[in-house]
Structure 1
Amino acid sequence: MTSTGDNRSDGRPEENGGIVSISGDIASGSTGPGAAVPRGLRLRLLGPTLVIVGSLMAVVSSLGAPLIPTIADADGVSLSTAEWLLTITLMTGALATPLMGRLADGPRQRDVILAALGSVVAGCVVAALSNGFAMLIVGRGLQGVGLGLLPVAMAVARRNLTPEKSRQAIATLSITTAIGAGLGYPLTALIAETFDFRGAYWFGAITVGCAFLLAAFVLPGRAQVPSRRFDTVGATLISLAVVGLSVVLSEADGWGWTSARTLGLFAASLVVLALWIPYELRTTDPLIDLRQVRNRSVLTADTGGLLISVAMYLLLPVVVEFVQVPAAKGYGFGASLVVSGLVLVPYAVANFVASRFLGVYERRFGARSMIPLGSLIFALSTGFFALEHAHLWEAFVTTGIAGFGMGFTYAAMPGFIVRAVPHSETGSATGFYQVLRSIGLTLGSALSAAVLMAHTPAGSALPEVSGFRTALIIASGLGVATAVISFVLPGLAPRGRAGSSVKGGSETVPMMGTEAGEEEAELAGSGLMTVDDKASGTR
């Protein structure tokens, strides 16, 4: 990659005497839509704009879940059919994420973000104007494209912000899914009770439309990086596999987990995956470079992200449903839709608070223990509510503790990936991580539904309390498993290179003066390895 003007060869910002130069139209002052905005202001607004976009996408994606019973009644469909309001969004997001992640590694990051935001606005308008369930599903599918924005936003942050601001922005972006779920549920419930379910989608259209305008003025233009060949075959194969797995996880309860349809579609999806993996390993410019997974840092984040996402959806929907169960059942609190949504507010707030402590914790204790610590805190919260659920306040405490643990875990994971892959692979690597998270959320949702169904007596609409307890215990076990795996996978800290050294956490790391060296030092202190280590043969 060649250097142009003040831009670094890797496309990241360069600091010279306190002046930060940015690739694209922020640096060049090109006549884009935001050219009238002062360059310094646009630079200061870039990080907050990316976080706003990510948060709004998470809120919009959650607009379907609390409305499922209402829409099922209004459109005359079954609850299982109405579940597609959530499934279609997750499925579309899982399809869009790797495609947008790869496109984010090229020069058109701004175009990708604006196109996705436009799709979400259109989806919200379609859903708000829908006169039937089919049209509503189309709208929700268009909204799901926005879930692919996270890897793009992370790639933009890494390319255009200083290292410290980039790390902070990426950590915040990684928890927007959890924050969005915590805020989206009560917000949707409040709007639906005040107006109707269409009001929630008009809210989404207006807020995302404002985000579109903000992004159009703030985001940098085309970067000075080469375009890359798009892996059409790889994209087709992974799309077929993701759709197949999503349908199996969503419909297996109705079809039967051992039915011919379920087993056949599951087997077909595995066959497609078996074809996709060797193809991606052979092609010169793959959609997702699976060789990166051999790096223990990337493998830690990918595996941990999948497991903890399953656990997340074994907690959040279960707690929301539990508090709505009438007290006459012998458990539950008969909470309204609004109150049950408010139960998730502590979860969202604690996620954000935990992400703010991440930098301080890393400087004091190193990065290696961040994911295990957060996973254990999450496991503690789910175990607590499995045993103690006699009072409504315990639900609020549970989600608050879970949010703090999840904030630590989710905020730390992308950093493990970003520091271990080349700049040109940021979107692809984080996109694959987001796909695994989406699959984890879908699996968690299907598993929680299956567990509750298994503990629902014949002829009853509500499960026994043992069903909720079992789901929470499984979530707690997955939290512990994530902690163990994420501590073991990185391995022991590598030996420092010859030269002077400083203390990094509890281990000695080499002292280096460059920005790349500083990132390597942080990872060496946590037992991780960067791309430069791989290239030089350091182990």
Structure 2
Amino acid sequence: MSTALKRSEARLLVPALIFIALVVAAVASLGTPLITSVATTFHVSLDSAQWTLTIALLSGAVATPVLGRLGAGPHRRATILATLAIVVVGGALTVLPLPFAWLLVGRAAQGVGLGLTALMMGVARDHLPAERSAATIALISVVSIIGAGVGYPLAALFAEFGGVRAAYGLGLLVTAIALVTAWRSMPAAPEGRSAHVNLAGALVLAGGLLIVLFLAGERSLWSRHLAVAVTLAVAAVLLLCVWTVSELRTKTPLVDVRAVRHPAVAGANIAMFVGGCGMYLLLTLITRYAQTPHSAGYGFGLTTFVAGLVLIPFSVLGFVAGKLTPWVRERIDGPLLLAGSAAIVGGGFVLFATARSNLAELLAAMGVLGFGVGSFSAAMPGVILAVTPKSETSSAMSFNYVVRSVGYSLGSAIGGLVLAAGTAPGRLFPNDDAYTTAALVGVVAMAITTMASLALARRRSPETNPSTAPVGVPGRGRSNRTGT
């Protein structure tokens, strides 16, 4: 194969990877703007309609580590195609005139696609030149975040003019295109790879994650049935502890827990978890505030579609930050970049807490959030992959995305709990001060993220550099510097 042909294939592969990551993120987020329309169309409660979003996040969190392990093996291309086929089938179930239960099944199938983001990173690291793989991986990470900003207004627009089925039809169309794109562009995994899925470990992890995300989504459970909630929380902790022990003992772990314990990886995951809580909290606060009617004494009473347009600054500045981050990364160490990005997101919280009297201020806060999230997301893979073997790229990033999903779910739950606590008896909407309180909680979360990232930067030393570390230690060896 000629050098020119290799370069041509690389040029085609990069947009394909980014497009697929964008599509699966956007399709999974379709539930957010359609909750009210689903409740009306299917004659179910808003709490039931909320599950069209929650179940996608649940299935994505469960599928991600399994797909990450499969993606580390010789059948990565088949795994990608099969997963996209499942997402397409799920899209068809959301469009067909079937009962509400089948809509939930379809949304669960669509959520499985969230596990493909880490596989796209693995493909980029294996098949792109070193100087391009880092920038591509950063963009894949960013578009997996801003996909919600793209999907939200489009889904709301289709729902407004064509109904909820039309909005889900958009998801079916783009995932079908993504499947064809993957079939035409995805290369086979390098030879010599092997991957075995620990099914028992996968089931235990799935059980623990399901309970955690269920508790995060069902906020009323904590106020109405506290004993049940606490029992489930204890069960989740026990399941995750059992899973950790089993992963340490098995020869075919779903996630290389020993590698996850590496200071750089552990610190990055802690920063991702706390930072994810804060980032999704602010996104939730701003979109909810924008749609609150004037009769509440605040808010702007925006329609679902117009409220979706508020996300445009988030998406645009997030993409800009993602493009700039690789350039900045050459001059600033990764953990320091994470710390600076977390501080920017914290600035967005401060802006929202102190200035939200007009829509321009709300757009400014959303733009600051987008820039901070884009930079944070683009810097995160570099911190983890700097100490991760190429063959473990998909698995390592899959674990990070599970952490991110749990953080996002908890961030949304925390926002709901704070706003519920600030809602007076008999009132539908919380007091304006409740938003300020929630924003201050976010400031604390981002301060913790900033300090965790700074601590990670101080702990970095020459021996964590893959070029000088002993071969055979996770993330250490001559092959690890490729693509980071």
Assess same fold via TM > 0.5: yes
Among 359, 374, 395, the residue aligned to 2:362: 395
1:25 corresponds to: none
1:182 corresponds to: 149
- Output the amino acid matched with 1:19: T
2:109 corresponds to: 142
1:347 corresponds to: 314
- Output the amino acid matched with 1:233: A
Which whole-Å deviations, capped at 9, do the CAs of 1:377-414 have from their partners, x for residues lacking one?
A: 00001111111110011111111011111111111111
Q: 1:250 to 1:19 in 2, by over 3 A?
A: same
1:15 corresponds to: none
Q: Larger relative CO (CA 8 A, sep 6+): 1 or 2?
A: 2
2:323 corresponds to: 356
Alpha-carbon offset, residue 312 of structure 1? 1.8
Partners of 1:437 and 1:496 in 2: how far apart? 28
Partners of 1:429 and 1:362 in 2: how far apart? 20
**Is the aligned partner of 1:299 residue 2:266?**
yes
State whether residues 240 and 272 of structure 1, in contact with CA within 8 Å, keep that contact through their aligned partners in structure 2. yes
2:193 corresponds to: 226
- Output the amino acid matched with 2:137: I
Which whole-Å deviations, capped at 9, do the CAs of 1:285-316 have from their partners, x for residues lacking one?
A: 21111111222211122111111111122111
Alpha-carbon offset, residue 243 of structure 1? 0.9
1:531 corresponds to: 476
Q: Compare 224-233 and 309-318 and name the one that shifted more.
A: 224-233
Within 5 Å, give how 1:153-232 maps onto structure 2. Answer: 153-232=120-199
DSSP-derived class of the 2:405 partner: helix
Within 5 Å, give how 1:255-294 maps onto structure 2. Answer: 256=223, 259-294=226-261
Q: Compare 263-272 and 430-439 and name the one that shifted more.
A: 263-272
Of structures 1 and 2, the larger Rg is shown by: 1
State whether residues 326 and 332 of structure 1, in contact with CA within 8 Å, keep that contact through their aligned partners in structure 2. yes
Among 426, 430, 434, the residue aligned to 1:459: 426
Alpha-carbon offset, residue 225 of structure 1? 2.2
Which whole-Å deviations, capped at 9, do the CAs of 1:466-510 have from their partners, x for residues lacking one?
A: 22222222112211111110110243453599xxxxxxxxxxx9x
Q: 1:425 to 1:530 in 2, by over 3 A?
A: closer
Alpha-carbon offset, residue 257 of structure 1? 6.7
1:240 corresponds to: 207
State whether residues 97 and 147 of structure 1, in contact with CA within 8 Å, keep that contact through their aligned partners in structure 2. yes
- Output the amino acid matched with 2:202: A
State whether residues 296 and 490 of structure 1, in contact with CA within 8 Å, keep that contact through their aligned partners in structure 2. no
Q: Compare 376-385 and 312-321 and name the one that shifted more.
A: 312-321
Which whole-Å deviations, capped at 9, do the CAs of 1:426-481 have from their partners, x for residues lacking one?
A: 11111110100111111111111111111111222111112222222211221111
- Output the amino acid matched with 1:305: M
Partners of 1:182 and 1:344 in 2: how far apart? 5
- Output the amino acid matched with 1:132: P
Alpha-carbon offset, residue 84 of structure 1? 0.7
Partners of 2:191 and 2:144 in 1: how far apart? 31
Which consecutive residues of structure 2, in runs of 5 or more, have no partner in the other structure? none
Among 46, 51, 72, the residue aligned to 1:105: 72
State whether residues 84 and 113 of structure 2, in contact with CA within 8 Å, keep that contact through their aligned partners in structure 1. yes
2:3 corresponds to: 19
State whether residues 334 and 380 of structure 2, in contact with CA within 8 Å, keep that contact through their aligned partners in structure 1. no
Among 471, 482, 502, the residue aligned to 2:438: 471
- Output the amino acid matched with 1:443: L
Partners of 2:347 and 2:272 in 1: how far apart? 18
State whether residues 259 and 475 of structure 2, in contact with CA within 8 Å, keep that contact through their aligned partners in structure 1. no
State whether residues 297 and 417 of structure 1, in contact with CA within 8 Å, keep that contact through their aligned partners in structure 2. yes
State whether residues 219 and 416 of structure 2, in contact with CA within 8 Å, keep that contact through their aligned partners in structure 1. no
DSSP-derived class of the 2:331 partner: helix
Alpha-carbon offset, residue 106 of structure 1? 0.5
Which whole-Å deviations, capped at 9, do the CAs of 1:332-373 have from their partners, x for residues lacking one?
A: 111121211111110011111001111221222333311000
State whether residues 191 and 199 of structure 1, in contact with CA within 8 Å, keep that contact through their aligned partners in structure 2. yes
2:414 corresponds to: 447
DSSP-derived class of the 2:334 partner: coil
- Output the amino acid matched with 1:190: L
1:416 corresponds to: 383
State whether residues 414 and 430 of structure 1, in contact with CA within 8 Å, keep that contact through their aligned partners in structure 2. yes
- Output the amino acid matched with 2:447: V
TM-score by length of 2: 0.94
DSSP-derived class of the 2:230 partner: helix
State whether residues 122 and 393 of structure 2, in contact with CA within 8 Å, keep that contact through their aligned partners in structure 1. yes
2:405 corresponds to: 438
TM-score by length of 1: 0.84
Q: 1:318 to 1:495 in 2, by over 3 A?
A: closer
Among 333, 337, 352, the residue aligned to 1:385: 352
**Is the aligned partner of 1:68 residue 2:35?**
yes
DSSP-derived class of the 1:284 partner: coil
Alpha-carbon offset, residue 226 of structure 1? 3.1
**Taking every aligned residue pair, what percent have the same amino acid on both sides?**
36
**Is the aligned partner of 1:330 residue 2:297?**
yes
RMSD: 2.2
Q: 1:19 to 1:206 in 2, by over 3 A?
A: same
State whether residues 309 and 444 of structure 1, in contact with CA within 8 Å, keep that contact through their aligned partners in structure 2. yes
